[in-house]
Amino acid sequence: MDNSRLMDLVSEIEKAEKENPNVPLIFTEVLKDEINANNEVRMYNGMKRLIKKYSEDSKSTAILNEVTRVMSGGTSLSDILSVSIDEALHPTLVARDKE
């Protein structure tokens, strides 16, 4: 999808928001549904692939981190990776109960 199409869609959703104040909730629910429908391994491998692919380009890695912060409510990609490593190596009781 090209940039102009994305900008057209942003304009369109902003117009819809004027008629329906629930657009932010609807958008967020659709996004969460799409994330939840994704296979965990596929998402994990996809994120690793993006990080590796753009690791030499600081602007691209900043964008990845910004998107992650927006979607997570402020948590950085490096924080998520660090917590994941710690949890994998030293599972909490909650994580052990799920196994």
pTM here is 0.76
Decide if 51 contacts 63 (C-beta within 8 A). no
CA atoms of 31 and 50, how far apart (whole Å): 19
Average pLDDT over residues 21-50: 94
Decide if 77 contacts 51 (C-beta within 8 A). yes
CA 16 to chain centre: 24
Structural domain spans, the chain: 1-37, 39-99
Could you give the 3-state DSSP secondary structure of residue 53?
helix
Confidence of residue 98 (pLDDT cuts 50, 70, 90): low
Q: Is it the case that residue 57 has pLDDT exceeding 70?
A: yes
User: Amino acid letter at 41?
Assistant: V
User: What's the pLDDT at 13?
Assistant: 96
